[in-house]
Chain A
Amino acid sequence: MSDLLRLATAGSVDDGKSTLVGRLLYDTKSVLADTLDAVHRASADRGLATPDLSLLVDGLRSEREQGITIDVAYRYFATPNRSFVLADTPGHVQYTRNTVTGASTAQLGVLLVDARKGVIEQTRRHAAVLALLGVPRLVLAVNKIDLVGYDEVTFARIAKEFTAHATALGYAEEAVVEIPVSALAGDNVVERSARTPWYSGPTLLEHLETVPVEPDPHDAPFRFPVQYVIRPRTPEHPDYRGYAGQVAAGTVRVGDEVAVLPGGLRTTVTGIDTADGPLEEAAAGRSVTLLLAHDVDVSRGDLIAAAAAPPTVTDEFDATVCWLSEKPLTPGARVLVKHGTRTVQAIVTELRTRFDEQKLASTDAPAALALNEIGQIGVRTAEAIPVDDYTRNRRTGSFLIIDVADGSTLAAGLVGAPLPELDGVDSCTGGGNSAPSTDDHALVSPGP
Chain B
Amino acid sequence: MTATTTALDALDRLESEAIHIFREVAGEFDRPVILFSGGKDSTLLLHLAVKAFWPAPVPFPLLHVDTGHNFDEVIEFRDRVVARHGLRLEVAEVQDYIDDGRLAERPDGTRNPLQTVPLLDAITTHRFDAVFGGGRRDEERARAKERIFSLRNSFGQWEPRRQRPELWNLYNGRHRPGEHVRVFPLSNWTELDVWHYIAREGIELPSIYYAHRREVYLRDGMWLAEGPWGGPRDGEVKVEKTVRYRTVGDGSCTGAVESDAADIATVIAEVAASRLTERGATRADDRMSEAAMEDRKREGYF
* Partner-binding segment picked from B16-24, B60-68, B257-265: B16-24
Q: Is the CB of A345 closer than 8 A to any CB of chain B?
A: no
Interface residues of B in 110-162 (CB under 8 A from A): 137-138, 140-145, 160-161
List A contacts of B23 (CB < 8 A): 227-228, 244-245, 287
Question: Are A60 and B294 in contact, with the CB atoms below 8 A?
Answer: yes
- A226 CB → nearest B CB, Å: 9
The residue in chain B whose Cβ has the minimal distance to the Cβ of A4 is B10
Question: Are A275 and B51 in contact, with the CB atoms below 8 A?
Answer: yes
List A contacts of B187 (CB < 8 A): 74
- B199 CB → nearest A CB, Å: 15
List A contacts of B166 (CB < 8 A): 101
List A contacts of B50 (CB < 8 A): 275
For B171-185 the 0/1 string (1 means CB < 8 A from A) is 010111000000000
Q: Is the CB of B55 closer than 8 A to any CB of chain A?
A: yes
For A58-76 the 0/1 string (1 means CB < 8 A from B) is 1111101000001111111
Question: Are A231 and B172 in contact, with the CB atoms below 8 A?
Answer: no
List B contacts of A28 (CB < 8 A): none
CA distance A399 to B274 in the complex (A): 42
- B165 CB → nearest A CB, Å: 4
CA distance A253 to B43 in the complex (A): 33
Known: A72-B145, A73-B144. A398 touches B168 (CB 8 A): yes
The residue in chain B whose Cβ has the minimal distance to the Cβ of A300 is B27
- B190 CB → nearest A CB, Å: 5
Task: Out of B5, B20, B26, B164, name the residue touching A281 (CB < 8 Å).
Answer: B5
Q: Is the CB of A439 closer than 8 A to any CB of chain B?
A: no
Question: Are B281 and A287 in contact, with the CB atoms below 8 A?
Answer: no
Q: Is the CB of B240 closer than 8 A to any CB of chain A?
A: no
Question: Are A277 and B3 in contact, with the CB atoms below 8 A?
Answer: yes
Known: A71-B161, A228-B27. A59 touches B141 (CB 8 A): yes
For B250-272 the 0/1 string (1 means CB < 8 A from A) is 00000000000000000000000
Task: Out of B53, B165, B172, B274, name the residue touching A100 (CB < 8 Å).
Answer: B165
Question: Are A71 and B160 in contact, with the CB atoms below 8 A?
Answer: yes
- A343 CB → nearest B CB, Å: 8
Question: Are A230 and B188 in contact, with the CB atoms below 8 A?
Answer: no
CA distance A237 to B56 in the complex (A): 8
Q: Is the CB of A234 closer than 8 A to any CB of chain B?
A: yes
Task: Out of A38, A64, A76, A340, name the residue touching B137 (CB < 8 Å).
Answer: A76
CA distance A226 to B51 in the complex (A): 17
Q: Is the CB of A246 closer than 8 A to any CB of chain B?
A: yes
List B contacts of A412 (CB < 8 A): 165, 167
Question: Are B172 and A402 in contact, with the CB atoms below 8 A?
Answer: yes
- A166 CB → nearest B CB, Å: 23
Q: Is the CB of B12 closer than 8 A to any CB of chain A?
A: yes
Known: A76-B138, A287-B19, A407-B176. A399 touches B294 (CB 8 A): no
List A contacts of B169 (CB < 8 A): 105, 246, 395
Q: Is the CB of A280 closer than 8 A to any CB of chain B?
A: yes
CA distance A231 to B13 in the complex (A): 25
Question: Are B144 and A74 in contact, with the CB atoms below 8 A?
Answer: yes
Q: Is the CB of A57 closer than 8 A to any CB of chain B?
A: yes
- B58 CB → nearest A CB, Å: 11
* Partner-binding segment picked from A9-17, A29-37, A122-130: A29-37
Known: A34-B280, A230-B56, A237-B55. A395 touches B168 (CB 8 A): yes
The residue in chain A whose Cβ has the minimal distance to the Cβ of B187 is A74
Task: Out of B20, B140, B145, name the residue touching A287 (CB < 8 Å).
Answer: B20
Known: A76-B137, A232-B55. A246 touches B3 (CB 8 A): no
Q: Is the CB of A408 closer than 8 A to any CB of chain B?
A: yes
Q: Is the CB of A219 closer than 8 A to any CB of chain B?
A: no
List A contacts of B165 (CB < 8 A): 97-98, 100-101, 324, 409, 412
CA distance A408 to B176 in the complex (A): 10
Question: Are A276 and B188 in contact, with the CB atoms below 8 A?
Answer: no
Question: Are B277 and A64 in contact, with the CB atoms below 8 A?
Answer: no
List B contacts of A73 (CB < 8 A): 137, 141, 144-145
CA distance A338 to B5 in the complex (A): 31
For A32-54 the 0/1 string (1 means CB < 8 A from B) is 11110010001000000000000
Known: A32-B277, A230-B55, A234-B56. A74 touches B137 (CB 8 A): yes
Question: Are A231 and B164 in contact, with the CB atoms below 8 A?
Answer: no
- B157 CB → nearest A CB, Å: 14
Question: Are B26 and A338 in contact, with the CB atoms below 8 A?
Answer: no
CA distance A340 to B169 in the complex (A): 9
Interface residues of A in 375-421 (CB under 8 A from B): 394-395, 398-400, 402, 406-409, 412
List A contacts of B53 (CB < 8 A): 228, 230, 244
- Given pairs A59-B141, A61-B294, 18 additional interface contacts (CB within 8 A): A32-B280, A33-B275, A34-B281, A42-B290, A59-B140, A59-B143, A59-B145, A73-B137, A75-B144, A78-B192, A237-B55, A246-B16, A275-B54, A287-B15, A287-B17, A324-B165, A400-B167, A407-B172
6 pairs of residues in contact across A and B, judged by CB atoms under 8 Å = A4-B13, A57-B141, A75-B137, A78-B192, A230-B53, A412-B167
Q: Footprint of A on B, CB under 8 Å?
A: 1-5, 7-10, 12-13, 15-17, 19-20, 23-24, 26-27, 50-57, 137-138, 140-145, 160-161, 163-170, 172, 174-176, 187-188, 190, 192, 274-277, 280-281, 290-291, 294-295
